[in-house]
Each structure stands twice: as C-alpha cells, then as structure tokens.
Amino acid sequence: MNLKQLSEKLGLSQTTVSRALNGFPEVSESTRERVRRAAEVNQYRPNLMAKSLATGRAMAIAHIIPVFSKNDVVNPIFSEFVAGASQTYTEHGYELILTVADQKDEEKIYRSLAAKRAVDGFFVHSPLSIEPRLELLTDIGLPFVVHGRVSETTLPYSWIDMNNNSAFKQATELLLDMGHQRIGLINGPETLNFGELRRQGYETALLARGIELDSSLVYSAALPEQLGFNATKELLASANPPSAIIASSYIVALGVRRAISLAGLKIKKDVSVVIHDDVLSYFDNGGSEPQFTATRSSVREAGVRGAQMLLDIIDEPDRAPLTQLLEAQLIIGASTGPA
Amino acid sequence: MNLKQLSEKLGLSQTTVSRALNGFPEVSESTRERVRRAAEVNQYRPNLMAKSLATGRAMAIAHIIPVFSKNDVVNPIFSEFVAGASQTYTEHGYELILTVADQKDEEKIYRSLAAKRAVDGFFVHSPLSIEPRLELLTDIGLPFVVHGRVSETTLPYSWIDMNNNSAFKQATELLLDMGHQRIGLINGPETLNFGELRRQGYETALLARGIELDSSLVYSAALPEQLGFNATKELLASANPPSAIIASSYIVALGVRRAISLAGLKIKKDVSVVIHDDVLSYFDNGGSEPQFTATRSSVREAGVRGAQMLLDIIDEPDRAPLTQLLEAQLIIGASTGPA
DNA sequence: GTGAAAGCGCTAACAA
DNA sequence: TTGTTAGCGCTTTCAC
C-alpha cells in the first residue's frame, strides 16, 4: 500500500495524508485521526527510497570498521558499540549501515557512500594517533563522530571515548599500592590512539612514584592473543620477572592467563578496569568473578550515547563539535599484596 | 554532480549516459568510453535513493542480530560473519544494514524493513530449533538465508551452517581415543539449534563406544563466561570429576580455563575445533597455540559464502533453496593421554 | 484546512 | 545507436 492508494481510499489528497502522518499543524485533528487509523489498518509504511529522494535525507548512518590485515580479527568491542548505536538509530527511524573494510579501501568507501547519498553521517572507528580520515571527512562535509580520539590534529571534530589514560594510571597505581614494583604492560598497538594513551597513563603512575621506566617490561603489538601469550612467557622467564601484568585487552588477557597457568603460577586475583570490555590486570587471583557483563554493557552504553551525539549533530549541523569522555570504572576485589 | 548535469556536459541524453554506465549493449564503444571518462573525472556516483526508487531494488541486505536479554553479550562470531558478508556485499554494490534487536521486537523490525522497501533480503542469525521467523519471512516474501539451521519445520529455506554435530562427535571421539572416559560438556543453550546438534554429536560418540550418558556431566545455558567457570568448578569438585571438558564456545572456554587454573590443575593440551571461533576441548595442555586466527577467519569465510548465496537467490528468486554445510576442522596437537 | 502540481534523480518503455 | 517521455512514491511550494 502506497500513499496514493491510501489517499484514494480515504478520499483525500496525497498531500493531506502525508501532512497528517508527518505531524504538520495545518491538518484538522479529526482528519489526522482518521488518516492515522487507516494507515495503521492498512499497514502503510512510507517507501524509504521515495522519502529519501524527496527529502534528501538517507535516514541512515554508516559505521566503517577498518581491518588492518586480511586475517585481522574484528575486535569484539565493536559488536557491543554497534549494538548500542543500533538501538538508538532504531528508536529514531534511522538504519545502521555497517561496512568492514580493509584500511586501504576506506577512503573509497567513505567517498562512495557520501557521493551516492546513501548516508547522513559517519561513525569513525579505530582512530590512529595521526588520522588522515579527519581531513577526508571534513572534506566530504557530512557529520561524523569518532569513537576514540586523535592526538595530533588542529581540525575540530566530535568524539566519544573512554578515559584510557586515567584508567591505566589508576590500574597502575592500584598495583603500586599493593606493593608491586615491577609491573608489566602488554599494550595494544601504540600507533592507535588508545594504545598511546594507555601507555601514558601507565608511565605517569610509575614516574609519580619515582619508579624508573623499564622498556623490557612493555610489549606492544597487534595479534593480541598470541602477543599476550608470548609476551607473558618471556616476561615470566626473564631474570627479573614482574609480579603483576597489565593486559590491555580482553584478548590479550586470554594469552596472559594461559601463559601464567602454563608456568604453574596461580593467579590469585583478577582486577578489571571497565574500558570497553577490556580486562586490564592480572595477578593474585582469589577467584573473584571478572565483571564481563558489566564491562560489555558499558561499551554498549557508549554506542547508545555516541549515536545520539551524531543524530544531534545531524539535526543541528552548525553547532560546535561535541565531545564525551566517559570515565572508566575500576572493578576490584580485596587486595592481597604482591605475589 | 548528477545524471542530468553529466549528460548536459557531454551533450548526450540522460538515457544514453545511463546506458553507457550500466553496461547496456546498444551503446557504441566510443561513446561509452567518453561517458566513462567524464563520469570518472567528475566523480559521478548515481544517487542510490533515486536508483532504488526507479528500479525497485534497495541494494541493501539486512542482518538482524537478536539479543535475548538486555545485557546479553553480542556473540563475537557475529562480527566475523558480518565482516565476511560485508566484503561480498561491497564487491557487488550492496550495503549491509545491521540491526541488533531484542528478540521480542524482531518481527516488527523484519516487517518494517520490508514494508519500507529498505532491503532486498534478510540474513537470519541465531535460529532456534523451532523457529517462528521462518513462517514470518516466508510470509513477507523477501529472499532470506539462515545462518544455522532449524530442526523442526517443513518450510523450505536456505541456510549456511557449520556441521556442529559432526564436529562435536569428532571432538568427543578424539578424547575417547586418548583414553578419557568421563568427559564433561558445557554446552550453549539447547533451545538454539546449534546447542541441540552439538549435544547430539557428543552423545552419539559416547554411545558408539558403549559409554553410558551421565547427565551430571552436561551443563547447558546462556551466560557463557560465568557458566564455564561455575560449571567447571562444580565438575572438578564433584565426587567423580571428568578428566576432560568440552567447552562449547570461546567465551565458555574462558571460564573453564579460569576454573581449571584456580583448582591448581594444569592444562596440558588444548584441542580446538574450528566451528566459528569456538574452542571446544580443554585438557592436558602442553602449551600448543590455540588457532584463534584460523578459527576466526573460518567464520569470516562462512559470511562471505553466505552473502554470496543470498545475492544469488535475489538474482534468481525462483530457484530451489540453497544450502551449505561447512565441515569443521579439528585442530589438535599431540596426544598425551588422560590427566 | 485541503488540494494540484512540480520535482527529487534515476530507469525503462517506446520512438526515431 | 540515440533521444523522448513517463513514471518510481514521496515531499513541498503555491493556490484555493
């Protein structure tokens, strides 16, 4: 059933029916009600393409997830973030267009989506510290929000991010408070902004206590599961092994656990920091439950809020860039001191 | 730049330009080349909405991911599957519309997307053993492919799935061959088809060796990480604990590992079965690398192929339903016998 | 408060 | 081989 058929059935013009359904003020309440009811009964849904063509709004947002190599695993936090965003879009009548693209194809994809008029805005994931997409998107001219931040730029842009720096600072401080002096860090790639910030937080905390930085305690790379495993194995086998390890992601933590268990060491306590779904610190495990559910739902919440920001920008394109820094929560159990 | 402007620039009609660009045969090669070049130079991209309105094809596929409760974690395998599908769609000029929806809203979403003419087909995820969406989608009439299978139905439908049954049968046989007699199974929800099939595979293997089924060795539920941890703790604490445990998913396996490590047991060998990204069996870990990369990329491949199936069906809607059963690969290290 | 008509940008009969 | 024309289904001026 389309507008024409519905309006004929009602003995009204398309105009009036359209106005009634879209809440225009000049329609009488009685007609509006009659139209509403008929639309309901006949399950009338405006054709999205026709509507978009007429209004110039695609009613869709694109999320572009970059993968950095052919077999790069898609970070599970995207699922949660996107799940949250999807919820917001659905509530506002928008669709979420998802494209998982090799990093080298990204520019083409952004441009193509914009030129085709297929979307009203973009969500940018996995920002680099130096981020060429910022210029690209500013050039394209459609609204966008970055999931994360870009450290080196003078371009204004909107973003939503967890406070990675402070979270890692806190996690490190916590370990220091418990008496640990040698703390390993297995970080994500430091060309990505969050990796840079996390390392900064870690170093800030150590330096504040007068502890010298020891680069042999820090690993940083992609390939997270293997990295976690190998790095931990090396750390534990070294002459002067750390008594605690901070793992920068859920996946890395898997490898850490496996290596610790293999070494015959017992984890006496897990400490989790809620940054996305990442589990940060491993040591002294007394058997407490990691808070995966809680952490996952915090990413989803970030997706909900980020999407809301983007829709706000679309509605009012000339406002100044919006930003949101979400404070990470430390989830900890009782301290038992160093192993 | 739109068609009209481009055609005026070229001194041709819109029709000719359109035909040249869309590969219609009646255009002379010289004009076609001239048009192509101009389109390239001017970065012309047909307006998607206008094109869709004119052709009646949305050039988009919807993937609807159900979540079963508010804080239900989105299974990471979806990321990979969707990543693979995205790749196929991009190559064919389709967009992927992703909606993560509470299960109770699903019907509304399918119907709405179809009624709005926003998509040309659906991908159905997380099928139940008894699946109401099958009837719904048959009623809606748009092409669809199920990621997984539905056991109880007479409706014809297309699907792509891993052979869960045979994979779990093989995994169980492998453990049996190594001398294990008491084998735990921590399964996903058995109302979901894959859970049902996995249990069947496990039981088939045991029965074939004349081993009696012991329901106290089998757990089945959602909440995978906690389930894995709690179930393993119980299993290990029981009077007659298993010497090997089959974990039905990556997330469950996390919990299993944690519980094993806490119990002071050493995992001597991991056995992984490549079904999506799931890690199935835990015991006797000698330190071999789990093949996460390989397993993840196999899900992605399933996404690539599944999307291709759906596009094929869209191109030729009257063909019989297509199906693909992908055989799971066992990835194992050397056997060391029971713990 | 309601309607007629033009137009969004493209495709596809039908003509030439 | 190319062009003319009529839609696709909706929104939006403009007129009544």
Give the integer Cα–Cα distance in Å for A292 and A288. Answer: 12
Inter-chain residue contact B58 with A49, CB threshold 8 Å: yes
Inter-chain residue contact B74 with A75, CB threshold 8 Å: no
Q: Which residues of A touch B264 (CB under 8 A)?
A: 266
Q: What is the full DSSP assignment across A70-98?
A: TTPPPPHHHHHHHHHHHHHHHHTT-EEEE
Interface A-B, measured as beta-carbon pairs within 8 A, has a size of 161
Q: Is the CB of B208 under 7 A from strand C?
A: no
Q: What angle do CA A88, A92, A96 make, to 5 degrees?
A: 60
Inter-chain residue contact A100 with B117, CB threshold 8 Å: no
Inter-chain residue contact B116 with A262, CB threshold 8 Å: no
Q: Give residue B269's pLDDT.
A: 46
Which of A45, A73, A290 minimises the CB distance to B296?
A73
Enclosing H/E stretch for A67: strand A60-67
Q: 10 Å Cβ neighbour count for A326?
A: 18
pLDDT > 90? residue A44: yes
CA A246 to C1' D16, whole Å: 75
Q: Give residue B147's pLDDT.
A: 93
CB proximity B211 to A under 8 Å: no
Q: Give residue B291's pLDDT.
A: 30
Q: Is the CB of B13 under 7 A from strand D?
A: yes
Q: 10 Å Cβ neighbour count for A277?
A: 27
Encoded tokens for A5: 């058929």
Most confident of A192-206, A243-257, A285-299: A192-206
A260 and A267 Cβ atoms separated by less than 8 Å: yes
Inter-chain residue contact A87 with B78, CB threshold 8 Å: no
The whole-angstrom distance between A247's CA and the closest CA on chain B is: 15
The whole-angstrom distance between B211's CA and the closest CA on chain A is: 32
Q: Give residue A150's pLDDT.
A: 87
The whole-angstrom distance between B209's CA and the closest CA on chain A is: 32
Average pLDDT over residues A63-72: 80
Average pLDDT over residues A303-310: 96
Give the integer Cα–Cα distance in Å for B81 and B74. Answer: 13
Strand C bases, protein C-beta under 7 A:
1-5, 7-13
Give the integer Cα–Cα distance in Å for B144 and B188. Answer: 25
- Return phi, psi of residue A192, to 5°: -85, 140
Give the integer Cα–Cα distance in Å for A248 and A235. Answer: 15
Give the integer Cα–Cα distance in Å for B144 and A45. Answer: 21
Q: Is the CB of B14 under 7 A from strand D?
A: yes
Q: What angle do CA B43, B44, B50 make, to 5 degrees?
A: 150
Encoded tokens for B338: 């029971």
Give the integer Cα–Cα distance in Å for A25 and A32. Answer: 10
Nearest C-alpha neighbor of B183 from the set B242, B270, B259, B260: B242
Q: Is the CB of A13 under 7 A from strand C?
A: yes
The residue of chain A nearest to residue B228, with distances taken between CA atoms, is A289
DSSP class of residue A103 equals: G
Which of A50, A76, A115 minimises the CB distance to B45?
A115
pLDDT > 50? residue A115: yes
pLDDT class for B254, splitting at 50, 70, 90?
Answer: low
Paired sense of beta strands B60-67 and A218-220, if any = unpaired
Strand partners, A111: none
CA A194 to C1' C8, whole Å: 43
Average pLDDT over residues B187-203: 89
Interface of A with B in 123-152 (CB under 8 A): none
DSSP class of residue A211 equals: P
CB proximity B285 to A under 8 Å: yes
pLDDT > 90? residue B167: no
pLDDT > 50? residue A279: no
Average pLDDT over residues B47-72: 90
- The residue written with tokens 């099958």 in the block is B134
pLDDT > 60? residue A311: yes
Inter-chain residue contact A261 with B262, CB threshold 8 Å: no
Paired sense of beta strands B244-247 and B183-187, if any = parallel
Crossing angle between the packed helical segments A224-237 and A250-262, to the nearest 10 degrees: 40
Which pLDDT tens digit goes with each residue over A119-135?
A: 999 999 988 878 899 99
Q: If DSSP states are collapsed to H, E and C, what string results for chain B? A: CCHHHHHHHHCCCHHHHHHHHCCCCCCCHHHHHHHHHHHHHCCCCCCHHHHHHHHCCCCEEEEEEEECCCCCCCCHHHHHHHHHHHHHHHHCCCEEEEEEEEHHHHHHHHHHHHHCCCCCEEEECCCECCCHHHHHHHHHCCCEEEECCCCCCCCCCEEEEECHHHHHHHHHHHHHHCCCCCEEEEECCCCEHHHHHHHHHHHHHHHHCCCCCCHHHEEECCCHHHHHHHHHHHHHHCCCCCCEEEECCHHHHHHHHHHHHHCCCCCCEEEEEEECCECCEEECCCCCCCCHHHHHHHHHHHHHHHHHHHHHHHHCCCCCCCEEEECCEEECCCCCCCC
pLDDT class for A333, splitting at 50, 70, 90?
Answer: very low
Mutation for testing the A interface, residue in B61, B69, B74 having most A CBs under 10 Å: B74
| Alpha helix segments (H runs only) across chain A | 3-10, 14-21, 29-41, 48-55, 76-91, 106-115, 132-140, 164-177, 193-208, 224-237, 250-262, 292-315
Which pLDDT tens digit goes with each residue over A83-106?
A: 999 999 999 999 999 999 998 999
Q: Give residue B73's pLDDT.
A: 64
B200 and B178 Cβ atoms separated by less than 8 Å: no
Interface of B with A in 171-210 (CB under 8 A): none
Q: Is the CB of A42 under 7 A from strand D?
A: no
Percent of chain A at pLDDT > 70 equals 81
Percent of chain A at pLDDT > 90 equals 46
Q: Which of A86-95, A136-145, A236-245 has the lowest mean pLDDT?
A: A236-245
- The residue written with tokens 């806190």 in the block is A170
Mutation for testing the B interface, residue in A55, A69, A100 having most B CBs under 10 Å: A100
pLDDT class for A270, splitting at 50, 70, 90?
Answer: very low
Taking C1' of D13 and every protein CA, the nearest residue is A15
Query: What's chain A's average pLDDT?
Result: 82
By CB atoms closer than 10 A (0-12, 13-18, 19+), residue B335 is middle
Q: Give residue A312's pLDDT.
A: 96
Q: Is the CB of B9 under 7 A from strand C?
A: no
pLDDT class for A180, splitting at 50, 70, 90?
Answer: confident
The whole-angstrom distance between B203's CA and the closest CA on chain A is: 29
Which pLDDT tens digit goes with each residue over A313-325?
A: 999 988 889 999 9
A299 and A272 Cβ atoms separated by less than 8 Å: no
Strand D bases, protein C-beta under 7 A:
1-5, 7-13
Q: Give residue B283's pLDDT.
A: 36
pTM, to two decimals: 0.86
Helix (H, G, I), strand (E, B) or coil at A136: helix
pLDDT > 50? residue B336: no
More confident position, A164 or A207: A207
Inter-chain residue contact A79 with B83, CB threshold 8 Å: no
Q: 10 Å Cβ neighbour count for A265?
A: 16
Give the integer Cα–Cα distance in Å for B262 and B254. Answer: 12
Residues near B316 by beta carbon (within 8 Å), at least 6 away in sequence: none
Interface of A with B in 29-88 (CB under 8 A): 43, 45-50, 52-53, 58, 60, 65, 67, 71, 73-76, 78-80, 82-83, 86-87
Helix (H, G, I), strand (E, B) or coil at A114: helix
B38-43's contacts with Cβ under 8 Å and 24+ in sequence apart are: B38/B6, B38/B9, B38/B10, B39/B6, B42/B1, B42/B6, B42/B9, B43/A111, B43/A115, B43/B1
B219 and B187 Cβ atoms separated by less than 8 Å: yes
Most confident of A293-307, B169-183, B254-268: B169-183
Most confident of A149-163, A318-332, B216-230: A149-163
A124 and A307 Cβ atoms separated by less than 8 Å: no
pLDDT class for A288, splitting at 50, 70, 90?
Answer: very low
The whole-angstrom distance between A209's CA and the closest CA on chain B is: 32
Q: Which residues of B touch A47 (CB under 8 A)?
A: 53, 116-117
Q: In what order do the strands lie in the sheet with B144-147?
A: A323-326, A158-162, A144-147, A121-124, A60-67, A95-102, B95-102, B60-67, B121-124, B144-147, B158-162, B323-326
The residue of chain A nearest to residue B51, with distances taken between CA atoms, is A49
Q: Give residue B251's pLDDT.
A: 65
CA torsion angle B74 A95 A43 A23 (round to 10)? 130
Measured CA to CA in angstroms, residue A179 lies from A172, A338, B324 at distances of: 11, 6, 57
Q: Which of A71-80, B255-264, B265-274 has the lowest mean pLDDT?
A: B265-274
Q: 10 Å Cβ neighbour count for A299?
A: 28
Q: Is the CB of B11 under 7 A from strand D?
A: yes
Measured CA to CA in angstroms, residue A107 lies from A43, A111, A264, B64, B150 at distances of: 40, 6, 48, 27, 40
Phi-psi region of B223 (alpha: psi -120 to 50; beta: other; left: phi over 0): left
Average pLDDT over residues B180-208: 90
pLDDT > 70? residue B79: yes
Which pLDDT tens digit goes with each residue over A9-31?
A: 899 999 999 999 998 888 898 99
Which of A90, A118, A223 minimises the CB distance to B48?
A118
Q: Give residue A303's pLDDT.
A: 93
B270 and B282 Cβ atoms separated by less than 8 Å: yes
Which of A45, A82, A287 minimises the CB distance to B262?
A287
CA B52 to C1' C16, whole Å: 29
Average pLDDT over residues B282-286: 36
More confident position, A196 or A94: A94
